[in-house]
């Protein structure tokens, strides 16, 4: 694959997994649109790959207008779209029992994790269907929580389960248009979002336990592998996790 003419959109590219994946792709010669809510952090990501072809676009993925502007900017700058890494997300308030979870907090998680993923996938799907040559790939960032929840994580877990349905539907509906869709489910990548793993996090049995983490670069390399497959091949679901984290035996 000649990645020098391949274009990707990475949402949530200002930090964590999104930044790592964006830098992995930029380092491999991809042209990458960096999307996120804060322009300074997007520009920091771009600065970490000097000389690479990066475009920073401030966008709140829960806003239809912002998403439309994002993909319009990508079309104007690069002319086509080969990959969407649907990564933007939020855990929401941690440790809040379901009976105490404020509706606005629930709605914020749903709007970001699920509605945002849908809006970006819909925009990418339209562009991939219309461009010449037709086709492209969408990779959704699921989570271990797309399979097994943590205590007091109902909003996050519900949206991640829903992402699996989104992935399957996109995969099916994209077949006639050479649009492949897969999902990467990530467990305990070392980012700011998982910093609490190092000090102890509630387990299903009510105890607190320190959990192992893995280098976020291992996630980025996996996404790149999925992205660079020919469109005739697809990783439908991949799980990448810290080897000794309590997942297989969680609960």
**Active-site residue list:** 156
Angle between helices 16-27 and 216-227 (to 10 degrees): 50
Rg of the chain's alpha carbons, rounded to an integer? 17
Extract the tokens encoding 63: 């806003």
Distance between CA 44 and CA 54 in Å, rounded? 11
- Let me know if 107 is exposed, middle or buried by CB neighbors in 10 A (0-12, 13-18, 19+): middle
What is the number of alpha carbons within 13 Å of residue 228 lying toward its C-beta? 18
CA angle 61, 156, 228 (to 5 degrees): 60
Q: Is the dihedral of CA 236, 136, 68, 4 positive or negative?
A: positive
Contacts of 100 (CB under 8 A, 6+ apart): none
């Amino acid at each position: 694959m000649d990645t020098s003419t391949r274009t990707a959109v990475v949402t949530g590219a200002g930090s964590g997994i999104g930044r790592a994946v964006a830098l992995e792709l930029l380092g491999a010669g991809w042209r990458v649109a960096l999307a996120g809510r804060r322009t300074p952090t997007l520009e920091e990501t771009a600065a970490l790959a000097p000389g690479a072809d990066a475009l920073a676009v401030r966008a709140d993925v829960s806003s239809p207008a912002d998403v439309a502007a994002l993909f319009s900017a990508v079309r104007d700058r690069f002319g086509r779209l080969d990959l969407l890494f649907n990564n933007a997300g939020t855990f929401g308030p941690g440790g809040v029992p379901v009976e105490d979870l404020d509706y606005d907090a629930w709605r914020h998680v749903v709007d970001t994790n699920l509605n945002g993923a849908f809006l970006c996938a819909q925009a990418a799907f339209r562009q991939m269907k219309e461009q010449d040559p037709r086709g492209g790939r969408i990779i959704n960032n699921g989570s271990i929580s797309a399979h097994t929840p943590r205590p007091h994580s109902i909003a996050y877990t519900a949206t991640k389960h829903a992402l699996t349905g989104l992935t399957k539907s996109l995969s099916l509906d994209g077949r006639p248009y050479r649009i492949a869709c897969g999902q990467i489910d990530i467990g305990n990548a070392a980012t700011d979002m998982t910093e609490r793993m190092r000090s102890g996090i509630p387990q299903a049995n009510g105890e607190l336990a320190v959990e192992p983490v893995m280098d976020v670069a291992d996630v980025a390399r996996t996404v790149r592998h999925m992205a660079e497959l020919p469109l005739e091949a697809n990783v439908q679901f991949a799980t990448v996790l810290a080897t000794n984290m309590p997942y297989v035996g969680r609960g």
